[in-house]
Amino acid sequence: MRRERGGRSQDLVVDPQSGWIRGVRRVESPNCDERPVGDAPELIVIHGISLPPHEFGGPWIDRLFTNTLPADAHPYFATIAERTVSSHVLIRRDGEVVQYVPFHRRAWHAGVSSYAGRTACNDFSIGIELEGADDIAYEEAQYTTAAQLIGELCRAYPTLSTRRIVGHADIAPGRKTDPGIAFDWPRLRALVAMQPGVAPGTGPGTANGAPT
């Protein structure tokens, strides 16, 4: 699926064998491992992240996910620099996609979590980070890219469904709030429904209470 960024077009094509998106910037994170035997990607989790909080751009998300975040570069970094976390993908404010973990592997993005009675959501989910903050509007380019990526993921991995897309807050209520009140779920649902191979009327939903 083709997306536009910075006046240029780029295809988002997921290779289900390697688990990588062809042609996007790749920053391999060590914070991942194999999924448990028998588990496959069944859930898509939307996150929001900014480092430092409410500031965009810079190398800091890459540095966090590769265990190279300098604790002395910002007061907030001292509180998180020792964490070993990652996500499969980041979508920056301009729609750029960065991939850290191949989709068939388990990224460490959800933490203590549950979905529809199942715990340990990392085992069976794909994590998509959007560069943003709970109370700052996300960019249209991010919604467009996220919807295109979700459509491509659902085509590459038949175990996924557009009916199983949730926010981090939905699988870790009381502990996490992202992607936050500024995230436009109806906008994402509408764009996902427009993707080739996605039946009209389907969209993000969860037994845990995400918007449907």
The tens digit of pLDDT for each residue in 190-199 reads: 999 999 876 5
For residue 140, pLDDT over 90 is answered with yes
Contact 124, 38 (CB under 8 A): no
Assign 200 a pLDDT band (cuts: 50, 70, 90). Answer: very low
Assign 205 a pLDDT band (cuts: 50, 70, 90). Answer: very low
For residue 9, pLDDT over 50 is answered with no
CATH topology of domain 2-193: Lysozyme-like (3.40.80)
Alpha helices in 15-139 (DSSP H): 60-65
For residue 211, pLDDT over 90 is answered with no
For residue 6, pLDDT over 70 is answered with no
**Token pair for 184:** 């436009």
Q: Which helix (H) or strand (E) holds 193?
A: helix 185-193
The tens digit of pLDDT for each residue in 16-66 reads: 999 999 999 999 999 999 999 999 999 999 999 999 999 999 999 999 999
pTM of the predicted protein model: 0.91
The tens digit of pLDDT for each residue in 72-125 reads: 999 999 999 999 999 999 999 999 999 999 999 999 999 999 999 999 999 999
Per-residue b/e over 8-33, b at no fewer than 16 CB within 10 Å? eebebebeeeebbbeebeebebebbe
Question: Residue 121 has what pLDDT?
Answer: 98
Angle at which helix 140-156 crosses helix 185-193, to 10 degrees, equals 50
**Token pair for 103:** 């989709």
Q: Which of these is catalytic: 28, 55, 82, 129?
A: 129
For residue 206, pLDDT over 50 is answered with no
The tens digit of pLDDT for each residue in 150-178 reads: 999 999 999 999 999 999 999 999 999 99
Q: For residue 42, indicate whether it is catalytic.
A: no
